[in-house]
Structure 1
Amino acid sequence: MSEIVPPPAVPDSSSIEKASTWVQPLRNEIGRVLVGQAELVDRLLVALLTNGHVLLEGVPGLAKTLAVRTLSSALHADFKRIQFTPDLLPADVIGTMVYHPKEGSFTARLGPIFANLVLADEINRAPAKVQSALLEAMQERQVTIGENTYKLPDPFMVLATQNPIDQEGTYTLPEAQLDRFLFKVRVVYPTPAEERRVLDAMATSAPKLEVNQITKTEDIVASRTLVNAIYMDEKIRDYIVSIIQATRTPDAYAPHLKLLIRCGASPRGTINLALAAKAYAFLAGRNYVTPQDIKDLAPDILRHRILLSYEAEAEGVSSEDVIKQLLDKLPVP
């Protein structure tokens, strides 16, 4: 693609660089505690900048909880962890009314969802009514307890985890609810070098995990105005639409994929890919989006939005395989 020249109305590069001075120090501070998860950290920052939520998929022990806790400490944000279990009730998540016999009155007891960062651990272990209560709060950013409605704090981000291996006693998240997550990130095992660093740092009965505050949540909220003003060329917009359209009509690009995709991405995928690309450019200190931004983010945006056919599952084809093939077939602007 030829050089992108943003119009005068777009904030200049120096404004973006000045507003994003907290980004690299924050990455460095988190990286000091969290080894080998730089991409995960960037996805979490993109979600914060776009008011999105993240679904983390990975086996236990890959530092998913540590990642969220470290990020909250570096931002001086309120953090809550909810362990989802089969006996969990919606009131355990959002809160409930408590009766006081002496006064003969009710007061609202707010649930753990009232935090900036909420870790919904093993979300697929709770029944559908609990999942729905959480996902409704994610969408509306407010909850109703009794007759009163309470707004959730800003920023507010839910990071839900699920184990791809252990499926016994789990409740699969419906596709409509999965679509509410900005990203579905696969957390992978560390490399040998990274695992050695983990060993050196953590092989003690009391590992030191102090995290310094680098910025504050107000800086995240303030940065959103600039993120929204990031320039996106018309050709980039068309490229995003063509990617989403390709998931619905794959036979127009790669005929053999028609039998592998049962359902393509919704328009929410189109919107989220554009929003995430702007935030991704902001983290890079740019005032414009590039085609590579789109290609980098597309797998995590689309992974949970493409439903594969039984033929694909039988052949061992993953959504990543399908997305990669579509991206390879589509012309890049």
Structure 2
Amino acid sequence: MGLFLGSHFFSVALCVFLCPCHTVLLTIPLLKAVLVCSLFAGPYTLSFLYTGLSRPGKGFPSFQAMAYLNDQPFFRYESEGRKAEPLGPWSQVEGMEDWEKESELQKAREDIFMATLRDIMDYYKDREGSHTFQGRFGCELRNDQRQAAFWRYAYDGRDFIEFNKEIPAWVALDPAAVNTKLKWEAEAVYVQRAKAYLEEECPGMLRRYLEHGRGHLDLPPSVSIARHVAPGQNGTLKCLAYDFYPGRISLRWTGAGGAQEAESGGDVLPSGNGSYQSWVVDRAPHSCHVEHSSLAQPLTVPWAGLQELRVGGNIGTPAQ
């Protein structure tokens, strides 16, 4: 299935149309070293996913729009209630959006989106069949600079049409999409609006959302060091960084002689609660040196027996 796009759409008459908490574990065999845990600033992504069904099953809406900040859904709109509603912790964030205006905007986009689905079905002379139309688009910021943007649609799981902002133009990826391209490029202003949305409006919305809700996207790490001893083997130290966001992080052990190679380690994996975890192993007493975009200065946690430190002064138990 192709890359989907859809939360801001436009027609001939209207231009209406985008790493959770993480845990990292370091294990070290019992030399004098420091763990450097470095997380890069961003990226932050605003994206929208639209789905239209020609014959929805029982309990499924004919149209749904989902908006995401990074991988966190922050509002939903469905054809049945026709209201845009914030989700989860985002419902507690003041000033994120005027939800009445957003609902009206989504209604207009729903009408355009479903009309496009019917046009495609007419092209294939299959008005009575069960078909799916999806769209996904959005933008990305890193260090407050625009990095990427995308806008693509799919029909029945096949790439249908996408916007190339460098040309700029809509690129047909399916025979039926030629008709859609002609409609969406009926006047040059429609193409320029699509380009402006990806390059200006979308990044602007993302910056505004970050101003109001960055606390849900920038979480400082907790750090834990524990010693593990197996029969007949030297002890190992495990250093765990967890409950942080964004989720890109680099872990390594360093000592007086510089960086140390870890004996083993793991990928960053979901913990099941919106956070992630990973680990590395080595064999000497170490300190954990943690760097994260949410910290005013690096955090160093020395090994001194079993300990757990929650950044900000709170003690916590690492996710298992």
What's the TM-score, normalizing by structure 2?
A: 0.27
What's the TM-score, normalizing by structure 1?
A: 0.26
Higher helix share: 1
